Structure formats: structure tokens, C-alpha cells
Amino acid sequence: MKSVIGCALATLIFASGAAQAQSEITVWSWGSAAPGLEATIPGFNAEHPDITVKVEKLGYSDVKSRVLAACAAGGVGLPDVFQFQNIEMELITAQFPECAADLVPLGFDAGAQSAFPEFKLFALRDEDRMLGMPWDSGPVVMFYRRDFYDKAGVDADSLTTWDDFMTAGAAIQAANPGVTMINDNLNGGTENFRMIAEEQNCGYFTNDGQAISVAEPGCVAALETVKTMVDDKLVAAADFNQKITNVTANAVATLMNGAWMEGVIRNGAPADQSGKWGVAIMPSITADGAHASNFGGSLLAIANNSDKKAAAYTFLSYALGTKAGQITMLKDQGLVPSLTSALEDPYVDEPSAFWGGQKIWKLILGRLPLISPINGSEFFSDADQVMLSVQTAYLNGQYTSAQEAMDDAAKQIGFATGLPIAQ
């Protein structure tokens, strides 16, 4: 199947002729994303046999640090293509604006961009330039154990508010000794806070990235919700690896996460858990909330100093810009497509045995249009470290209210970034 995006390159690729022949491009990627990309190569080579794709799997931190170091060195040492997190792409856009190639001249024009939701394009746009192509997304959902919920008489679809969720959590823990309602990386991250805040259309910064918005009501309510769950002993502190351990040990009833977690759970859970898991829409602060947020998700960028930009873009346009490429990665690794036309693929309507026969992808991909863009800005890492410190202090009773905590977080982020606090 030819991609709409790829067709825009037809003339360019034909003109490059002999120079294009037998091109080899290198891609840096991490985690399940790397084997996901590798799974697309046979289909890609069926259409483009003269382009060899070599995927190098590194750790997430390795990719980030090596890309930033290479960008600081004028691009020396970069592969042809590299993965980066959407929410951190402004690090490159702001600090090294010439490091990633503008994809618009290669074919990623306004028409091609319209195939993706705005929240995925937001961080990649630099005025009229597009410095990457959206890859996977992280629409937030609740992954839950049907058997634990059923034993407590709880219907996951009825949990429309976080108050509902917490009431249900007490019942589920009482009915299932040794099981904790939900996990959160309390000692090393702000994940539940960020997911709940974004659902309330609140992030660390305003959408133009010019002011600090973390003390606004949506973020305050998110922090209050996190504390209530912790105070009610419904949360077990767990980093990524501990979450998987808790899944295999039958010790957690719910994981709220970006939908890319689907493949992690499905591929990591013991065989006897097949059919015991389900997926539900995330709760909201109020019943009429958006029930939609994003956590995680990445992009592929092309190094501006690559001499194989046309070949690299041809690969991007297949892997990320066609249903064939995106659905291959969805099946193989549970990488959630950003390409909206993937909703039309028959696979989306197929029931999943592991998930109790549920048509999970129809539910998950249906959240994409409801997600609001959130600006990570070049200062995301600075702000997130401040927020982790403030969240820890608040959970330990060192602030009298969530508003006081968030006001302090805003001041600290201001000291770190030099940005004003939004009024």
C-alpha cells in the first residue's frame, strides 16, 4: 500500500535516482519501539527494496543524551533518524533549531500533517517548519483486573469520577487481600499527577510556552486527587519495573497509563492472566470532564546533516504515515497509532482474547480527538523535577493545601526558567 505522505516524495525520489539506490539508513530507538520499527521493515522493503533500514536499540536516556550531545556538536555523530519524546522535543527546537531537518520540503506539508491529531503536531512545529513526524501516542486509559473488580462487585465503566474510583478502590482492596488499587511512581516521577492535570487541560506551562501555569485550578485539583488516594492507602509506589512485577504477582488492580502500556502488560503478564484484564476510560475530576489525556508517545526526526534525507523520509512515510506501518507496530508491540486513519483498519474492531474479548483499540483510539495539546517547552525536565519535589513534600504534610504547594512549585519553576507565572 502506498502512503499519501510517501506519494508526495515520488518526484524527489525518482530524481535522486542512482544516489538513492542501495541507501542504508540508521535509526536510534528504545524499548519496545525498536522491535516495533523492525517489524515494519519487511513491509517497507516490499515497496522499497533498495533502502536498508538498520535499527539500533538503545536505552531511552542513552538516546536522549546522545542526541542532545550530537546536536550541541553541530550534528556530528547523529544517525539518519532518531526517536525523541514529544513532550521533550522543544529541547531541540529551542536549543538546536538546525539539528533536525524540516520535513515540509520532503513532503510533510499541511495536507500530510492533517492525517495526525493536533496534540501530536504541537511540539514538532517551529513556525512553518516541522521537525519530526508523529509516531506513537499515549491516550490514557485504565487497565484493570476484571476478576478483582468482579469480586468486589465493581463495574469499571461506572467509575466516571475520581471519587467513584476511590470508593471502588476501598471495596476492591477489601475483597482482594494483598491487592493495591493503583500504582504510581511516587518516588521518581509525577505520572498520575500529570495525567490527571492534563485531563483538566493544565500543564506546567501555558500553550505558548511563555508563562508558568502549574498553579492553576486544574493542576491543583490533580494534586489534591493524588494526595487523597495516597492518604486512603489506595496507592503503591512503583516505578516501571516494579509495576510489571506487581502485574505478574497479582498485586495490583489498576494501572492508569498511556495506552502503549497495553503491549507491556500483554507481553509481560503470565499466561494464566489472559482474559482477566480489561480496559476502561479514565475517570475525571467531574463526571462531565474530557476523560482524555496523553502520557508518553514519541516521534521520529531526521538529522539535518544526513545525506540520506530522501531515503529516511521514505521510511518515515511508510512506518508512521500508512495504516500498514502503524497497524504492524500496534499488533507487534501495542504501539498506539497517531495516524487517525488507523481507526479505519479492521484490526481495530477485532476482539482481544487477552483483554477478555474486548475491542480495546476502538475505545483507545477513540480518545485521540479529545486530547488537548499541552506544551512541554524546553524547560519540561526542570519543571518536572520541581514538581516531584513539591509533590513529595505535599504528600508528607509539608504544605497546608494543594494550592500552597502549587504556588510554591510555580515560584520554583520561575527561578529555574526565568519565566513569569501566568496571571
pLDDT digits (tens, 9 = 90+) for 388-397: 999 999 999 9
Residues 171, 181: Cα–Cα separation, whole Å? 9
Residue 192 confidence (pLDDT) above 90: yes
Mean pLDDT in residue range 377-401: 94
Residue 296 confidence (pLDDT) above 90: no
Name the 3-class secondary structure at 116: coil
Comparing 82-86, 115-119, 376-380, which segment has the lowest mean pLDDT? 376-380
Single-letter code of the amino acid located at 166: M
What's 121's DSSP letter?
A: H
pTM confidence score: 0.84
- Residue 21 has a pLDDT of 54
Residue 3 confidence (pLDDT) above 90: no
Share of the chain above pLDDT 90, in %: 77
Residue that has been written with the C-alpha cell 518536572 in this structure? 384
- Give the relative orientation of helices 309-319 and 10-20 as an angle to the nearest 10 degrees: 130
- Residue 10 has a pLDDT of 44
- Residue 391 has a pLDDT of 98
Q: How confident is the model at residue 2 (pLDDT cuts 50, 70, 90)?
A: very low
CA atoms within 13 A on the CB side of 131: 23
Share of the chain above pLDDT 70, in %: 95
Residue 14 confidence (pLDDT) above 60: no
- Residue 378 has a pLDDT of 83
